[in-house]
Structure 1
Amino acid sequence: MTGKAVNKAVLGRLLSYVLHDKKRLAIAVGLLLMASLADVSGPWLIQHFIDSYIAKNEYPLDMVAGLALAYIALMCTAAWFKYIQALRFNDIAIGVVQTVRKQLFGKVLNQPLSAFDYMPTGKLISRITNDTESIKDFYVLVIGTVLKNVIFISVMLVVMSLLSWRLTAVVLVLLPIVVAIMVLYQRKSADAYRKMRDLLADINASMSESIQGMSLIQLMRQEQAFSKQFSSLTRRHLESQVGVMKLNGLLLRPLIDFLSGVALLSIVALFGISGVELVGVGVLYAFISYLGRVTEPLIELTQQLSLLQQALVASERIFGFIDAKQQSYGDDVQPLREGRLECHDVTFSYDGKQQVLTGINVDLPHRGFLALVGHTGSGKSTLASLMMGFYPISQGELKLDGRPLASLEQSVLREGIAMVQQDPHVLSDTVRENVCLGRDVSDDVVWQVLAKVGLDGQILAYQQGLDTRLGSGEANLSAGQKQLLAMARVLVAQPKILILDEATANIDSGTEHQIQKALHTLRQDMSIVVIAHRLSTIMEADEILVLSRGAVTERGNHQQLLAHQGHYWQMYQLQQAGEQLHQMEELAVAESAVQEN
């Protein structure tokens, strides 16, 4: 973020989008020039009529009628050219805005996940919507208005100088003062508009986070606290808007109207001094008409500075995101043949200061079953993210099929290794689209993967089958069914390695058994990595890693770790005791119900 009033680099970059199609822009500018010439010719014709006929008290019918028809034709021509050039400029501007939005969203999709670690969702949405809307105003309103008014004023000054250079000199003396006012306004408003934009992004972020966390807010009875926080943001945003409005009220119309009045008095005074013999009454009329016409363009130009300032501030943020470092991949395009995964002394830190993982070693063979367990914050999900290639490794090496993960091309990595997260996202769309996710997949394949994870029976129970809408549509899935849907989703691509991140954390024992059956089937085709708190899910794992504070403290299969009687044994005993208590409670409830009946 620059502290300058005008970031010339950002302004030049915005203009470069328009200059990309020079031919279309030249046609639009040509139409604008024709409209301006037709527009300023009206007062010139009236001046000619006053000095040539009214002053001489001569009214030849044919000449008067010809001038009247010419005046009407000029006004109609000016209106037509204005309409055509406005369409041209809007077409160019909207096309440019679409290009910017596509670039921005494309860059967002390819940002490394670390870019979203500290970026609130509301602020990101604000950049994509509100900031691009400000850029649209820049192209649609600012550029068109500036070109129109600059060309109009330039043509008008040329015509005025042909009529009387003395009176034109009066106007030219005042123009630098107007320009100075515009520059002063732009400099004064820069920080104000930047602050207003930042507060608007904070408001969007607050709304987004409050809506997403509504259940938490109501459970903790924090409605009033969040309402006060939101009110504070809106009040500060209102104060910044009022400050901008005061600045507009002081430096825009009042000063320009004052200078216009000074120019008018100066012209009248010069007319009185020079006399009619030097400046005709018609010329005086034309100058007064032109001066009245030049006031509005000057005010419009100054008013566009506010939109220009908003666009520059929004562009700084958008271009900052577009220019941010993208997710990098290798150039090895050879698909994975096996699901073999190796980690050699892997060390990782999110911020470069605090180590999250230290010296991790893993050797997962093809069709192997690896489990990661440990308390919250031990580094399990971080290790899974490194296996997916979401973050670059700080130290050590991670290999897939004996090849460094960093050397693999994006499509190879994403098709070869897939993840089912703890809380899978379900689209508000059909079952088919939730499984396919835009990929070209036949219904037969969709049913095959649904059957493989045990979800086909549930979908068949829906009247519309694969066309049933999920999410906010016609049906809602349970937490366990969402996990099964996510598994079916990744199986469409038949990955060589499947990672399940807490896939059984929030499901019932019946669904857990169904997922275990699915895992047993999947092991025939791929390697599996499971992160789990519920140890019953991973009892058949070939190797279990117990993590604590980013390091492996124990490793082995289920029986070996129980025999060791370390941390894993303690976790297992606690879960067994918890399950026994739960069974006793269910039995007591059942016996109580029988006695009541």
Structure 2
Amino acid sequence: MLLNNTPNLIRFWTVLKRLLKYIKIWKKKLIIAFFCLLTASITEVLGPILISYFINHIIVPHNINNVLMLSLIVVFIMLQITSVILNYFQTIIFNKTAVNIVQNLRLDVIKSALKQPLHVFDTQPIGQIISRITNDTEIVKELYDTVIATVFRSIVLIVVTLFAMFTLEWHMASIATIIFPMVIIVMLFYQKKSTPILRKVREYVEHINNKFNEIINGMQIIQQFSQESKFQKSIQKTSNLHYLSRMKILRLDGLLLRPLLSLFSAIVLCGLITSFKFFSVNLFEVGILYAFISYLGRLNEPLIAITTQQSILQQAIVAGERIFELIDTPKQIYGSDCAHLKSGLIQIKNLNFSYKKKQPNILNNINITIPSKSFTAFIGHTGSGKSTLANLIMGYYPINQGEIYIDKRPIQSLSHKTLRKGISIVQQEPLILADTILKNITLGRNISENKIWKILETVQLANLVKSMSKGIHENLRERGNNLSIGQKQLLAIARVLIIHPKILILDEATANIDSETEKNIQKTLLSVKKFSTLVVIAHRLSTIMKADKIVVLHQGKIIEEGNHNMLIDRKGKYWNMHQAQSNKTLRNI
């Protein structure tokens, strides 16, 4: 759905109708709230009629009837109490419903974000997505708990008030209706002027969130290189632009809303006063005149309320556009083959790949077969395409040209569930949740604590965990800041070894582990071959010397492949890399 390519008015109604669809589930509660509103509005409007009756039948004729006076007072007070109680209940119902609706909307946004292709996150700042999930949905909430309730209440008040006015005296009521075309013109003009400004406001909020996200994540680097002032100025510049845009909206509100509508009401009141010149004085009773003046004031308030909601409504529509833009983004496409992988056989044929169509290929004519339950390593300098190849085997990106077969099945035919259960990856910078060690390993899976301890023994983390006061129930800090980089990698390895995937990929997963731990991990990896195909991407050649096959990538092409001894004998690229790392090791001793 390309909202930006449609005219503004059509886009406005398209987004509004789509937002209102979320109300369907809660329509019964909303009907109750609307009934409360309607009844409360009627009780409000009946007040001036009672006072008008009091003036015309008691004050003007000096007919002091105690019973009648007391009855009118009691009825008037009861009407006001009823109005207050019903307004309270409708406010509670509307707000409760709004929270539930926004919760559903927010879940839809999160579900959509979780299913986005990874290239979306490569190009779109995280702060923008967070802004849509939090700020934009919070603005939409006001549509449900403020705009809808206020507009309905105002319309009911206007209709009931007009009915009462025409019932009392239709000449004066006709004069009062002059205000409506003037209000409609103001509302249309306000919508035209405010929409582009509000879009800018949302964009600036998004940029501010993104900047804060960058600052918080990069605080160590910012302070290390004394860049606090630069980032502060950047935030200040965007905040100033946001402030200027907000001021434009406030000026529009200040000019077009209450002051202008109050002027319209004054004009109508002057019209009512002038009407005495054209009609017989006897036509108007004092009580009716009071009622009309009272109704005119009451008519002014709902009109102001409706027009005031224009600002909130426009903000909600702009926020809705941004939310639906994310929801409607094409999702990651997977196949329908749900059968579990029987083997870890990988066949890559004539594979070419680039992240964007107009960019040069990162991988060129890759052809390789990785047997099931084998140990294959990919090495090469930074930018040679190793991690890209790992991501393609994981099914993270659609293939541009060529084929990848997993278990003799095209990878694009495999379902999401089949891929995720059959293929696992441990990356160089694993994600550690701010939760217990147990939950970081299980990730919601039903796994016994005994099995967790066995895996911790395997990856050399058991002693560390035992030293903690709560053991596997110890809470880790955000991003695992109370663990070393190597310990986080070991925890990530434990996370995938728990399920015995048919294919296990390690993308520089041992880069930050000391030599002693690396030897233990090598033993673990060799044991993994009993049930998994092992694909290891590494810079440190010591990690992959016992691999069945070593594939050397250079500028996206395979230039050498074979085992360690074969490649050493050839004295090619691999031999040069081995010599360079050996000399570096000797210099460090």
TM class, shorter-length: over 0.9
Aligned-partner residue type, residue 209 of structure 2: N
Shift of 1:86: 1.7
- For the pair 1:268 / 2:267, whether they are aligned, the reply is no
Instruction: Give 1:218 shift.
Output: 2.1
Equivalent position of 1:553 in the other structure: 559
CA displacement 1:99-156 (0-9 Å, x = unmatched): 1011111111111111111111111111110000001111111111111111111111
TM superposition shift of 1:272: 5.0
In 2, distance between residues paired with 1:518 and 1:474?
A: 23
Alignment check: 8 A CA contact 2:433 2:480 kept: no
Deviations 1:572-591 (A, max 9, x none): 111111100001xxxxxxxx
Q: Are the structure 2 counterparts of residues 481 and 514 from structure 1 closer, same or farther at C-alpha, using a change threshold of 3 Å?
A: farther
Counterpart position of 2:264: 259
Residues 349 and 356, structure 1, Cα contact 8 Å, conserved in 2: yes
One-letter code of the match for 2:150?
A: T
In 2, Cα distance between equivalents of 1:337 and 1:230: 53
Match of 2:539 in 1: 533
Which residue number corresponds to residue 483 of structure 1? 489
Shift of 1:62: 1.1
More deviation in 467-476 or 140-149? 467-476
One-letter amino acid of the counterpart of residue 359, structure 1: N
SS at match of 2:518: helix
Matches within 5 A, 1:194-343: 194-271=199-276, 273-343=278-348
Q: Does 1:377 align with 2:405?
A: no
Deviations 1:284-321 (A, max 9, x none): 10011111112222112111111111111111111111
Distance 1:288 1:197, change over 3 A: same
Task: Kindly indicate whether residue 72 of structure 2 is the aligned counterpart of residue 67 of structure 1.
Answer: yes
Deviations 1:227-264 (A, max 9, x none): 21111111111111111111111111110111111111
Counterpart AA for 2:438: R
Q: 1:419 corresponds to which residue? A: 425
Partner of 1:455: 461
Any idea what SS the aligned residue of 1:552 has? strand
Residue of structure 2 equivalent to 1:580? 586
Partners of 1:88 and 1:469 in 2: CA distance: 39
2:415 is matched with 409
1:142-201 deviations in Å (ceiling 9; x for gaps): 111111111111111111110111111111112110111011111100000000100110
Which deviates more from structure 2 when the two are superposed, residues 359-368 or residues 279-288?
A: 359-368
Q: Is 2:387–2:507's contact at 8 Å kept on the other side of the alignment?
A: yes
Q: 1:59 to 1:271 in 2, by over 3 A?
A: farther
Residue 78 of structure 1 aligns to which amino acid in structure 2? S
Aligned-partner Cα distance in 2 for 1:479–1:459? 16
Note the 1:427-506 alignment, pairs <5 A: 427-472=433-478, 476-506=482-512
Amino acid at match of 1:177: M
Is 1:345–1:396's contact at 8 Å kept on the other side of the alignment? yes
Unaligned residue ranges in structure 1 (runs of 5+): 584-597
In 2, Cα distance between the equivalents of 1:413 and 1:152?
59
* Equivalent-residue separation in structure 1 for 2:281 and 2:447 (angstroms): 86
Query: Counterpart in 1 of 2:30?
Result: 25
1:188 aligns with 2:193: yes
TM-score for both structures, normalised by structure 2: 0.96
Matches of 2:227 and 2:86, distance apart in 1? 59
The answer to whether residue 365 in structure 2 is matched with residue 359 in structure 1 is yes
In 2, Cα distance between equivalents of 1:390 and 1:474: 25
Partner of 1:161: 166
Q: Displacement of 1:472 after TM fit?
A: 4.7
Aligned match for 2:121, one of 105, 113, 116: 116
Query: Which AA in structure 2 matches 1:285?
Result: Y
* C-alpha distance in structure 2 between counterparts of 1:493 and 1:18, whole Å: 42
Structure 2 residue matching 1:358: 3-state secondary structure? strand
Q: 1:415 touches 1:494 (CA, 8 Å); kept in 2?
A: no
1:51 to 43, 56, 59: 56
Deviates more, 1:15-24 or 1:435-444: 15-24
Query: Separation in 2 of the partners of 1:400 and 1:535?
Result: 27
- Tell me, yes or no, if the aligned pair for 1:135 and 1:315 is still in contact at 8 Å: yes
**1-side partners of 2:122 and 2:478: how far apart?**
27
- Deviation, 1:527, is 1.0
Deviation at residue 461 of structure 1 after TM alignment: 2.1
Structure 2 residue aligned with 1:589: none
2:549 corresponding residue in structure 1: 543
Separation (CA, whole Å) in 1 of partners of 2:217 and 2:480: 21
Quote the Cα distance in structure 2 between the aligned partners of 1:559 and 1:317.
Answer: 57
Distance (whole Å) between structure 2 residues aligned to residue 214 and residue 472 of structure 1 = 14
Given that 2:423 and 2:502 are in contact with CA atoms closer than 8 Å, whether structure 1 keeps it comes out as: yes
RMSD: 1.5
Pair 1:135-2:109 in alignment: no
> In the TM superposition, what is the alpha-carbon distance from 1:373 to its structure 2 partner?
0.8
Over residues 64-123 of structure 1, what are the superposed CA-to-partner deviations in whole Å (9 max), with x where a residue is unaligned? 111111111111111111112222222222221111011111111111111111111111
Per the alignment, residue 4 of structure 1 pairs with 8
Between stretches 415-424 and 521-530, larger displacement belongs to 521-530
Aligned mates of 1:303, 1:462 — CA distance in 2: 58
Structure-2 separation of matches of 1:285 and 1:113: 67
Aligned to 2:130: 125
Residue by residue over 1:342-366, the C-alpha shift from the partner in whole angstroms, topping out at 9 and shown as x without a partner, is 1111111211122111111121111
User: Using the alignment, how far apart are the partners of 1:306 and 1:292 within structure 2?
Assistant: 22
Percent identical across equivalent pairs? 44
Deviates more, 1:376-385 or 1:107-116: 107-116
Q: In the TM superposition, what whole-angstrom CA distance separates every residue of 1:475-522 from its partner, at most 9, and x where no partner exists?
A: 822211111110110122211111001112223222222221221221
Preserved contact between residue 122 and residue 208 of structure 1 (Cα < 8 Å): yes
Matched, 1:144 2:149: yes
